[in-house]
Structure 1
Amino acid sequence: MDWSSVIGLLLALAGVFVGHTLDGGRFASLFQPAAFAIVVVGTAGAVLLQSERRTFLRGMRMLRWVFFPPRGERDKLSREIALWSLSARRDGLLSLEQYMGTKDLYIQKGLRLVVDGIQPDKLRSLLEHEINGYEFTQRQAARIWEAAAGYAPTIGILGAVLGLIHVMENLSDPARLGSGIAVAFVSTVYGVGLANLFFHPVGNKLKAIVADKVAQYEILLEVFHDIATGDHTRVIDERVASLLVRH
């Protein structure tokens, strides 16, 4: 659990609700199902319209990373790299086949290319292509939250206009004016609040997580290249040091 994300979200909500009550408002006035449906469902529809379905679903699944980020395994990975280096120098490249049982597909591919004796330059090219594909796919998924942040305020305004239309249609019935005015203003609050207190922060955090993973893969690329070229273990040790520097 990433408690900083939980605390940050709670502080953001607390700031809104406490400020509202200090100004004489009531909690209940901020809970409007109609406004919520307009903003949230409308924003989801707009984002889905601009995105491929699989990209949209991948971005939704990535939301859990905000509160349960992928476990940092830099220490474990550094130990594995040391084993690869030692095994390759002592028993040859074919000995690395025993380490290909990892769940990480990128590491599997890198080890397989080394074991297969692919030329170092070709190996680098293939792994760079793999990194670029991973980064593009993950960033596109993370961007659905940025898109949501862009659409939500405008859809909130749309909800406000719909609420005012409801008010105008019921001017002769004062009992129904309050609900229309509430939808009008709360829709705007939902749109702006969700965009700036949730959608934007989620998008930025997911991009940071993806960037960190890409940085690890780039270091692994250099490690696989070093092993394939038979570089001294000291060179690989420096790679491991750079891997741990952001731990």
Structure 2
Amino acid sequence: MDILLTNIWRFFDPVLFGVVLGCVLIMAWIQNGRHSIIRGFAALGNSSGNPFEASGENATYMCRRIDFILREQGLSGLETLHSEDAFVTRILHHLVDAKDSKSFEEWVHLEEHVAETKQNMAASYWLSAAEIAPAIGLIGTITGLIQLFATGIDPLKMGPAMSFTLLTSLYGLFISHIIAFPIYVRLHARAEVLHAYRSKVVQHTVNIAIRELDAVSPVHFVPANPIKNNV
């Protein structure tokens, strides 16, 4: 332990660490698409806890609020109802302006899919980074070893040179298991909470649309063909 603490400065090369980290982030960005790196870093600000931990909001609570407003104020009253999740607020406002249950159901399921894809993109970015980082580190190590032996370096100087080369593998493992994968686990857990919450609220609003919108929709009757009496 004393040896590690005394020589800890040997384990950190900011330039080499920056090169490995940059390669990992770029490769994960290429793998997941142009918006993934933005979503991946933007999600870090909201990844510290449960999205509804402070407000105590959950699907059952929101569905009961929707039913209460619907009973007291009618369908138009849902415009005044707001959620901690902007997605839920948006679908409630759209429900008020919906023309029929079929079009609303198609729209809300499409919006749910888009929101889920965006939510998962951030977690997928960091999962890709966790998977890529060891490979980037190993590539750096192998490249360094090839260059090391190709130059015919003095055996007395080979130790420090190999130490520098092996740092790329160390940094790859560090980025993967200490940085990227824990972030992925946190973002994935948050995405599951949001998806479960949204799915229940979406199904509840679809049921309301079927009950409320179809009940007030005009019924179109097709007149029967007149019966001709044969004389």
Instruction: With the length of structure 2 as denominator, give the TM-score of the two structures.
Output: 0.75
Report the secondary structure of 1:171's partner residue. coil
2:25 corresponding residue in structure 1: 44
Q: Does structure 2 conserve the Cα–Cα contact (< 8 Å) formed by 1:38 and 1:156?
A: no
| Distance of 1:53 and 1:225 partners within structure 2 | 33
Q: Does structure 2 conserve the Cα–Cα contact (< 8 Å) formed by 1:38 and 1:155?
A: no
1:110 corresponding residue in structure 2: 91
Query: What's the offset of the Cα at 1:159?
Result: 1.9
| Distance of 2:182 and 2:12 partners within structure 1 | 23
Q: CA 1:170–1:71 in structure 2 vs 1: closer, same or farther (change >3 Å)?
A: farther
Structure 2 unaligned residues grouped into runs of 5+: 213-231
| Distance of 1:76 and 1:151 partners within structure 2 | 37
Structure 1 unaligned residues grouped into runs of 5+: 1-20, 232-247
2:222 corresponding residue in structure 1: none
Q: How many residues align?
A: 208
**Residue identity opposite 1:61 in structure 2:** A
Matches for 1:13-162 after TM superposition, within 5 Å? 21=1, 24-25=3-4, 26-67=7-48, 70-72=51-53, 75-76=56-57, 78-99=60-81, 104-162=85-143
| Distance of 2:24 and 2:88 partners within structure 1 | 37
1:206 corresponding residue in structure 2: 187
More helix by share: 1
1:240 corresponding residue in structure 2: none
Which of these two proteins has the greater Rg computed from alpha carbons?
Answer: 2
Q: CA 1:35–1:130 in structure 2 vs 1: closer, same or farther (change >3 Å)?
A: same
Query: What's the offset of the Cα at 1:88?
Result: 1.3
**Residue identity opposite 2:177 in structure 1:** N
Query: What's the offset of the Cα at 1:85?
Result: 1.3
1:11 corresponding residue in structure 2: none
| Distance of 1:49 and 1:125 partners within structure 2 | 32
1:164 corresponding residue in structure 2: 145
1:237 corresponding residue in structure 2: none
Cα RMSD of the aligned pairs, angstroms, is 2.8
**Residue identity opposite 1:199 in structure 2:** A
Q: Does structure 2 conserve the Cα–Cα contact (< 8 Å) formed by 1:88 and 1:227?
A: no
Instruction: With the length of structure 1 as denominator, give the TM-score of the two structures.
Output: 0.71
1:5 corresponding residue in structure 2: none
Moved over 6 A (4+): none
Query: What's the offset of the Cα at 1:158?
Result: 2.0
* Residues 28-37 or 148-157, more deviating: 28-37
Q: Structure 2 residue aligned with 1:216, among 197, 203, 207? A: 197
**Residue identity opposite 1:160 in structure 2:** T
Query: What's the offset of the Cα at 1:121?
Result: 4.0
How big is each residue's C-alpha offset from its partner over 1:209-237, in whole Å with a ceiling of 9 and x where there is no partner? 11110110011112213433459xxxxxx
